[in-house]
Amino acid sequence: MIKGFLFDLDGVLVDTAVYHYKAWKKMANDLGFDIDEEFNEQLKGISRMDSINLILKQGNVSLSEGEIHDLATLKNEAYVEMVDQMTAEEILPGIPELFVQLKKAGIKIALGSASKNAPRILKTIGLIDEFDAIVDGNSVSKSKPDPEVFLKGAEALGLANVECIVVEDAYAGVEAAHSAGMKAIGIGTKTNLPNADIILPSFEGIVLEELIKDLEKN
Ligand code: BG6
Ligand code: MG
């Protein structure tokens, strides 16, 4: 019996994944190398510090702890400047309608995101009051694919792990869901999310009842 949906934020509720990518790419370019979209897939779902360390490794750049910290702060300032301009129009297709259907069905809604900016973004786009629980980068210590964020999400909703469904756009996020004993809906393609239980391009036109039937069959 499905009683809760745990949503990732970046790339699932809003397309902030493009803003993360832009800000990281600029940082890499300033350091004299480039990152492409294929490399960027690895950055989805993982924390800010894990991301910067992977990027520096990719560019063969070795810096002190202090320099890494300063660069991460600069990246975040550039990122925040972009996300502060967002409006409710940037909520991804089908999400508002899905939330209405979930509430009608008595299914709880939680956030399970690695982002420390999650509450700020949810306030900016006017979604924050829709959540029964929020677990974000400020309340977890381990990056996806560690299941911590989803285990805490289920706990915050007062549900058993198997009663929760995860919605993710990141390979690492789907792995985290499975490690938590939860099924995962992947928003994306079979190529970037071969591990998802169900893959959708978006929630546009999705009927919750049918989606749940498919999840229970899987
Ligand atoms: C995840 C994103 O949701 O949050 C990652 O997929 C990002 O790309 C991570 O690095 C941390 O975000 P923030 O906002 O705390 O830098
Ligand atoms: Mg994501």
Domain regions of the chain by residue span: 4-15+88-217, 17-83
Superfamily name with CATH number, domain 4-15+88-217: HAD superfamily/HAD-like (3.40.50.1000)
pLDDT score at 76: 98
Q: From the CA of 77, how far away is ligand 1's center (Å)?
A: 13
Annotated catalytic, 136?
A: no
| Fold match between domain 4-15+88-217 and domain 17-83 | no
Residue among 78, 111, 157, 160 at smallest CA distance from 7: 111
Q: How far is CA 194 from CA 5, 86, 197, in A?
A: 21, 30, 9
Mean pLDDT throughout 156-163? 98
- Phi, psi values for residue 158, rounded to 5°: 75, 30
Q: Kindly tell me the number of DSSP H helices and DSSP E strands found in the chain.
A: 9, 6
By the 8 A CB rule, do 164 and 7 touch? no
Alpha-carbon gap, residue 209 to 127, rounded angstroms: 23
- Percent of the chain topping pLDDT 70: 100
pLDDT score at 93: 97
Q: From the CA of 44, how far away is ligand 1's center (Å)?
A: 7
Alpha-carbon gap, residue 195 to 52, rounded angstroms: 25
Annotated catalytic, 214?
A: no
Q: 58: buried, middle or exposed (CB in 10 Å: 19+, 13-18, 0-12)?
A: middle
End-to-end alpha carbon distance in the chain: 13
The CATH fold assigned to 17-83 is: DNA polymerase; domain 1 (1.10.150)
Residue 217 reports pLDDT greater than 90: no
Predicted confidence band of residue 64 (pLDDT cuts 50, 70, 90):
very high
Q: Is any atom of ligand 1 closer than 6 Å to the C-beta of 143? A: no
Neighbours of 71 (CB within 10 A): 18
Residue 208 reports pLDDT greater than 80: yes
